[in-house]
Amino acid sequence: MTTYALIHGAGDVGWYWHLVERELRAKGHDVVAPDLPVDDESASFNDYANTVVSALGDRTDDVVVVGMSFGAYTAPIVAERIGARHIVLVAPMVAHPGESPSGMFEATGYQQDPQEDPSDLAVFYHDVPEDLGREALSRGRDQAGSTWKEPWPLPVWPNVPVTAIIGRNDRLFPVSWLRTVIQDRLGITPIEIESGHCLALSQPVEVATILDGLRSPTTAP
């Protein structure tokens, strides 16, 4: 049995992962998906990581850490602390030592494609059932601005295997930009699926299947 530490993105909550969590538990795995203190201006990336490590407790033997979007900044910090087996980044912002998230956008030339409908429902949840998208919006929180300017605290990336999953139809992070960022910064080719930005809500079965496939060599199929 693998434990998956699922880390949500900016201004979000652990509920974001509930459909993937259900699929992983049905496959016999354990899951933690805590709410990070993203609405706290005094909270740092290390505080975000503390929240995840606390949720894991003593479950550190076979852990895969999964970071969604802005949560990809926290995932490597958690992975280094607990000696995780694998890091998975989903529609990620890709951190660089000493660089802030806002600096990451500037350094990589990020620019959102023009949107016919710029509403959050259309940008984030266009391929999610409307009732599910509206529930996701209702659960959102204000993202504190402090971490957008905080330098990423790790001096180097952890020596842990990394997999990236991205959506071909992402309206927030253009796929050509994100694919290049992942290849340039991590040296890997991302797995691409038919999804927008919120892969765990639009394609939870496919995401869970990919995660389940990252089995430990000592775990029976």
- Domain ranges (residues) in the chain: 3-212
The span from the CA of 129 to the CA of 175, in Å, is 22
Q: What is the pLDDT averaged over residues 108-124?
A: 96
The radius of gyration computed from the CA coordinates of the chain, to the nearest angstrom, equals 16
Query: Mind listing the pLDDT tens digit for each residue in 133-152?
Result: 999 999 999 999 999 999 99
Residue showing tokens 């998956």: 4
Query: Mind listing the pLDDT tens digit for each residue in 146-175?
Result: 999 999 999 999 999 999 999 999 999 999
Give CA separation, 55 vs 135, 165, 173, 200, in Å: 24, 24, 29, 20
Would you tell me which CATH number, out of the four given (3.40.1080.10, 3.40.50.1820, 3.30.360.10, 3.40.630.30), belongs to the domain 3-212? Answer: 3.40.50.1820
The span from the CA of 28 to the CA of 107, in Å, is 41
**Continuous H helices in the chain:** 18-26, 45-56, 75-82, 101-108, 120-124, 130-139, 175-186, 199-202, 204-212
